């Protein structure tokens, strides 16, 4: 730390992203990326013409992408905010709507805690139940904003739309943020409810089901006044937040739902295969509605399994929080990758 760092950031603990190692080729099951390439139209969108256009600023209004998303989700363009990854939408939403504090689960996406600390927002972490489910009553009739991922990460468990509705309904004076990064892998989106509840903000990403983690594009859908507030934050902090090539890629991705639906189906099939195979090897696997599984073995310490898999060329995600340190989060990859995972674990268990 330099002596110049502002006092307000001296105690800031930054987010630790999943490893992106460059040393050798791993079977990479640690950051919930898609194992499949982006849609063919996305590849074509990264072209010479777009490269030549890079001398020009990107469109701060992101109109064509908002229009494509609005059409895809049956909302108006004024209901759509576009961000540099959904992390940025979450940051702007926390800044915009967090003044009375934000409440989120204690086991969840680690970035929320970093964001509240970075922005000096009061927060409360609500413990999950022993079976890792969220107790919805913890989030009803409270005097703060709410942020919940649905499905939750790293557990993969899902809340019903009726529950989301009850959260929005019981907190009319605060914003309820639903982070749907993984919704396409097994849940029903709360986007239609944003027409009924002016305090419901749904945040999604192109990073998971649409195979565009490296493009960094996310979005939020909600009442037009909420979206306007997010725009105010964006124009205050990062007006050209999405670059030209990423916008072109995202538009092409939205326009090819059939390609992505087929990939999602493959991921669901591979998830069922992995859950079944891991259970046969003695693992407890939390039923997942996401593109990862969260699993522990009674005779294999979580941190050791992570290390041993890494030594065998397979990366998974291990968290050191004692509440979940016996588990590993394993991204669902191709069938070949899942078979390699299962074979490697089988071999490790025999040692």
Give contact residues for ligand PMP (rule: CB under 6 A): 85-87, 109, 149, 153, 179, 181, 205, 207, 213, 218
For ligand PMP, give the closer residue by CB, 14 or 172. 14
Q: How far is the CB of 103 from ligand PMP (least distance, A)?
A: 16
For ligand PMP, give the closer residue by CB, 210 or 297. 210
**3-class secondary-structure state, position 124:** strand
Q: Give phi and psi for 133, each to the nearest 5.
A: -80, 155
Q: Which residues contact 119 (CB under 8 A, 6 or more apart)?
A: 91, 94, 95, 98
36 token code pair: 């499949």
Q: Which residues contact 141 (CB under 8 A, 6 or more apart)?
A: 170, 171
Q: How far is the CB of 205 from ligand PMP (least distance, A)?
A: 3
Closest by CA position to 191, among listed 168, 209, 215: 168
304 token code pair: 């050791």
Q: How far is the CB of 207 from ligand PMP (least distance, A)?
A: 3
Q: How far is the CB of 282 from ligand PMP (least distance, A)?
A: 27
Unique residue bearing structure tokens 């499905």:
151
For ligand PMP, give the closer residue by CB, 277 or 286. 286
For ligand PMP, give the closer residue by CB, 147 or 309. 147
Q: How far is the CB of 216 from ligand PMP (least distance, A)?
A: 7
Q: How far is the CB of 281 from ligand PMP (least distance, A)?
A: 26
Give residue number: closest CB to ligand PMP: 85
Q: In angstroms, what CA-CA distances link 65 with 119, 211, 281?
A: 29, 17, 45
Closest by CA position to 296, among listed 271, 314, 323, 332: 323
For ligand PMP, give the closer residue by CB, 77 or 105. 105
Please tell me the distance from the alpha carbon of residue 70 to that of residue 254, in angstroms, as a whole number. Answer: 10
Unique residue bearing structure tokens 């330099």:
2
Closest by CA position to 177, among listed 238, 118, 116, 266: 116
Q: How far is the CB of 250 from ligand PMP (least distance, A)?
A: 11
Q: Are 68 and 256 in contact (CB under 8 A)?
A: no
For ligand PMP, give the closer residue by CB, 194 or 205. 205
For ligand PMP, give the closer residue by CB, 179 or 229. 179
């Amino acid at each position: 730390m330099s002596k110049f760092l502002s006092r307000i950031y001296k105690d800031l603990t930054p987010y630790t992203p999943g490893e992106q190692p460059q040393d050798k080729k791993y079977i990479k099951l640690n950051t919930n990326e898609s194992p499949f390439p982006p849609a063919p139209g996305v590849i074509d969108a990264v072209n010479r013409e777009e490269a030549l256009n890079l001398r020009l600023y990107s469109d701060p209004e992101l109109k064509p992408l908002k229009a494509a998303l609005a059409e895809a989700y049956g909302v108006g363009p004024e209901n759509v905010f576009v961000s540099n990854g959904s992390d940025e939408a979450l940051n702007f939403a926390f800044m915009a709507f967090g003044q009375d504090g934000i409440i989120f689960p204690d086991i969840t996406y680690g970035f929320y805690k970093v964001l509240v600390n970075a922005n000096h927002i009061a927060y409360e972490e609500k413990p999950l139940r022993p079976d890792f489910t969220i107790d919805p009553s913890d989030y009803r009739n409270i005097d703060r904003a709410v942020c919940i991922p649905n499905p939750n990460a790293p557990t993969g468990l899902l809340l019903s739309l009726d529950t989301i509705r009850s959260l929005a309904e019981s907190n009319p004076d605060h914003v309820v943020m639903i982070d749907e990064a993984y919704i396409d892998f097994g849940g029903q989106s709360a986007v239609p409810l944003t027409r009924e509840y002016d305090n419901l903000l749904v945040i999604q990403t192109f990073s998971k089901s649409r195979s565009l983690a490296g493009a960094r594009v996310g979005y939020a859908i909600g009442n037009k006044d909420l979206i306007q507030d997010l725009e105010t934050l964006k124009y205050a902090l990062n007006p050209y937040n999405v670059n030209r090539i990423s916008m072109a890629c995202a538009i092409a991705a939205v326009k090819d739902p059939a390609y992505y639906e087929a990939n999602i189906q493959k991921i669901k099939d591979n998830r069922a295969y992995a859950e079944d195979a891991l259970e046969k090897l003695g693992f407890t696997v939390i039923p997942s509605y996401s593109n990862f599984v969260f699993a522990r073995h009674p005779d294999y310490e979580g941190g050791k399994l992570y290390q041993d898999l890494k030594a065998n060329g397979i990366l998974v995600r291990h968290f050191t929080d004692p509440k979940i340190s016996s588990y590993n989060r394993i991204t669902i990859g191709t069938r070949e990758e899942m078979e390699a995972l299962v074979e490697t674990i089988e071999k490790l268990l025999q040692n």
